[in-house]
């Protein structure tokens, strides 16, 4: 029996080549998709916080006489209406 040389070596895979099994491919795809979704969520939250107005601590008042809606400091219990001068309590939503 004679050794055929390079022709026989070409049919055998070299030990450095590793084959990926289907479960490894599925897991890798899952990790990539979840990572992309996480990046998109982080970008969305960053943009949302940058463009939304910051909440104010001012109280909202509605005049009982002229129905004018205005704001005043958060520590004021009763505020004078800038339109008619009547004192009003804070409006509760």
Torsion of CA 21, 27, 32, 37, to 10 degrees: 160
Rounded Cα distance between 54 and 32, Å, is 35
Q: Are residues 43 and 65 in the same domain?
A: no
Is 40 inside any structural domain? yes
Position 14 pLDDT exceeds 70: no
Position 15 pLDDT exceeds 70: no
pLDDT (0 to 100) of residue 93: 72
| CB contact at 8 A, 82 and 68 | yes
Q: Are residues 47 and 66 in the same domain?
A: no
Is 28 inside any structural domain? yes
Q: What is the pTM of this model?
A: 0.42
Q: How many domains does the chain have?
A: 2
Is 4 inside any structural domain? no
52-56-58 Cα angle (round to 5): 155
Structural domain for 40, as ranges: 19-51
Is 10 inside any structural domain? no
| Banded pLDDT at 13 (limits 50, 70, 90) | low
Q: Are residues 26 and 43 in the same domain?
A: yes
Is 44 inside any structural domain? yes
pLDDT (0 to 100) of residue 78: 87
Is 11 inside any structural domain? no
Position 9 pLDDT exceeds 80: no
Is 7 inside any structural domain? no
């Amino acid at each position: 029996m004679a050794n055929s040389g390079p022709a026989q070596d070409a049919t055998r895979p070299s030990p450095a080549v590793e084959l990926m099994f289907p479960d490894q491919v599925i897991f890798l795809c899952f990790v990539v998709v979840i990572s992309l979704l996480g990046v998109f969520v982080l970008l969305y939250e960053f943009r949302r916080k940058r463009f939304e107005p910051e909440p104010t601590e001012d109280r909202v008042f509605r005049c009982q006489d002229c129905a004018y809606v205005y704001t005043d400091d958060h520590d004021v219990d009763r505020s004078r209406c800038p339109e008619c001068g009547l004192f009003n309590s804070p409006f509760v939503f």
